[in-house]
Amino acid sequence: MKIIVQKYGGTSLATPELRSRVCDIIAAHRQEETALVVVVSAMGREKEAYATDTFINLIKESNPDPPLREMDILVSCGETISGVLLTSHLCARGIKAKFLSGEQAGIITDSNYGNAHILYVNPQHLLECLSAGMVVVVAGFQGISEQGERTTLGRGGSDTTASALGVALDAEYIDIFTDVEGIMTADPRIVGNARLLDAVTYNEICQLAREGAKVVHPRAIEIAMQKSIPLRVRSTFTDSVGTIVANQNPVWDNRARIIADRLITGITYTSNIAQIKISIDSHLEPRGIDLKIFKSLAQADISVDFITVQPEAIRFTVNNELAQKTKEVLKKLDLSFDIELNCAKVAIVGAAMTGIPGVMSKVVEALSENDISILQSGDSYTNIWCLVNSKDMEKAVQALHDKFELGNK
Ligand code: ADP
Ligand code: MG
């Protein structure tokens, strides 16, 4: 039995008309000897009635720090609602379909509420339903711990569900249906002339996703990569073929051949970052103050990024939400520091940029031509990132995209 996994994001399921469109796509893909598993996210985005954020806001109204176990039971309702509605819609069309929760689909996770990892998948029940000729609709984002408790998989978790099922069922491929044409050289909401990439390697999309392009969750890519299951990102709203993610030469509609990672794949951004600058007076501060700072932050469960330690100053960043807690920790250590709220990180990402001279000079040129100050910067062998003020973020993404000539001509 050939199996295909499809995943539909929240905006693809937001209205009855769109759910009808999704039913059309499912009907078109349903051929004999091809079994279909459909993974769904919660319907709509923030402020819409059944969206994940709506449930989070609801529970926080009565308790800003809600019990995590109960929170997972509530926030996972969004996928149950959209999955049941879609299944019922398919049945009304005369398509045999059955809804399964994460638990019923055999998604077994660790007990890390809110950000659980899938440990394994037990696809027995799912396979039985597929063999009986049903389209199986699975609630994304949710699973069950070995102790029998409901868990959720964190932001983008439905992508992870789709990949895990693809691997467990040895699917032919995984289709991620979303609200953009595919993977582009930058977020098309920010960069008008962003170009659609017809094929990317697992490595390239992993780097993009890790640096902030939330179009597919990086964990989903890592899982699909384990069995080299091709993954395609495409639009629910158009018939465009989208982007293929695979290792090499996927035979798929006779389309693009992937030869190697690109020098630069795209530009990404992450917002909501606070930068902390601690001045160190080496005559006054005791030796080992850096260790004391990072130990205290770790004890307070504060995760830090973009760390630069120099004899006269230490810089690092935290999520904006953790800025207040960070302040309290540093005050206790009696240090003098500044916090710059509302920073954003922009990055150029490319798996083959390592060792190529002149990339950094082009980055600096692009930003300075647009009067954008670089607050901090860093690099790895697959990216160069700069921290900028949030107000400059969109301009910076566009400027880098233009400078490296990534867009449609
Ligand atoms: P879904 O609800 O379908 O999972 P997401 O919001 O998680 O959708 O992901 C799709 C969004 O990702 C797009 O609407 C787009 O704004 C954003 N995005 C960010 N970077 C990129 C990129 N490089 N290519 C395509 N989309 C991107
Ligand atoms: Mg998503």
Domains in the chain: boundaries: 3-256, 266-403
- Which of 177, 215, 393 has most ligand 1 atoms within 8 Å of CB, for mutation? 215
Show Cβ contacts of residue 321 under 8 Å, excluding neighbours closer than 6 positions.
272
Q: Which 3-state string (H, E, C) describes 332-367?
A: HCCCCEEEEEEEEEEEEECCCCCCCCCHHHHHHHHH
CB 202 within 8 A of CB 225: yes
- Which of 187, 236, 400, 408 has most ligand 1 atoms within 8 Å of CB, for mutation? 187
- Binding site membership of 53 for ligand 1 (Cβ less than 6 Å): no
- Residue 177: strand pairing partners: 8, 234
Alpha-carbon gap, residue 42 to 19, rounded angstroms: 12
What distance in angstroms lies between residue 297's CA and the mean position of ligand 2's atoms?
A: 31
Dump pLDDT digits (tens) for 253-296.
Answer: 555 555 567 889 999 999 999 999 999 887 777 678 889 999 99
- Binding site membership of 6 for ligand 1 (Cβ less than 6 Å): no
Q: Which pLDDT belongs to residue 259?
A: 55
Q: Which pLDDT belongs to residue 78?
A: 96
Average of pLDDT values for 112-125? Answer: 97
- Which of 52, 178, 408 has most ligand 1 atoms within 8 Å of CB, for mutation? 178
Lowest mean pLDDT among 195-209, 245-259, 272-286: 245-259
Strand, coil or helix: 130: helix
- Binding site membership of 48 for ligand 1 (Cβ less than 6 Å): no
Instruction: Spell 307-320 as b/e; 16+ CB within 10 A means b.
Output: eeeeeeebbbbbeb
Pairing of strands 243-246, 199-201: parallel
Among 179, 186, 363, 378, smallest CA distance to 268 is for 186
Q: Which pLDDT belongs to residue 142?
A: 98
Ligand nearest to the CA of 189: 1
- In single-letter form, the type of residue at position 373 comes to S
Q: Is the pLDDT of residue 113 over 60?
A: yes
- Binding site membership of 143 for ligand 1 (Cβ less than 6 Å): no
Among 136, 141, 159, 135, smallest CA distance to 233 is for 159
Ligand nearest to the CA of 178: 1
- In single-letter form, the type of residue at position 191 comes to V
Written as six digits, the tokens of 267 are 């530009």
- Binding site membership of 78 for ligand 1 (Cβ less than 6 Å): no
Kindly state the percentage of the chain with pLDDT values over 70: 96
DSSP letter string, 8-62: E-GGGGSSHHHHHHHHHHHHHH--TTEEEEEEE--SSSTTSTTSHHHHHHHHHHH
Written as six digits, the tokens of 171 are 């699917």
Q: Is the pLDDT of residue 31 over 90?
A: no
Sheet holding 243-246, edge to edge: 97-100, 135-139, 34-40, 2-8, 173-178, 231-235, 243-246, 199-201
DSSP state for residue 329 in the 8-state scheme: H
Q: Which pLDDT belongs to residue 262?
A: 81
- Ligand 1, atom 2: nearest CA belongs to which residue? 9
Average of pLDDT values for 61-66? Answer: 91
- In single-letter form, the type of residue at position 127 comes to L
What distance in angstroms lies between residue 366's CA and the mean position of ligand 2's atoms?
A: 30
- Binding site membership of 10 for ligand 1 (Cβ less than 6 Å): yes
Alpha-carbon gap, residue 351 to 383, rounded angstroms: 8
- Ligand 1, atom 11: nearest CA belongs to which residue? 215
Dump pLDDT digits (tens) for 304-361.
Answer: 999 999 888 999 999 999 999 999 999 999 888 999 999 999 999 998 887 788 899 9
- Binding site membership of 220 for ligand 1 (Cβ less than 6 Å): no
Q: Report the CATH number of the 3-256 domain.
A: 3.40.1160.10
Q: Which pLDDT belongs to residue 353?
A: 84
- Binding site membership of 180 for ligand 1 (Cβ less than 6 Å): yes
Q: Is the pLDDT of residue 111 over 90?
A: yes
Supply the mean pLDDT for the chain: 93
Q: Which pLDDT belongs to residue 387?
A: 97
Is 215 among the annotated ligand-binding positions? yes
What would be the CATH architecture of the domain defined by 266-403? 2-Layer Sandwich (3.30)
Average of pLDDT values for 232-251? Answer: 85
Q: Is the pLDDT of residue 7 over 70?
A: yes
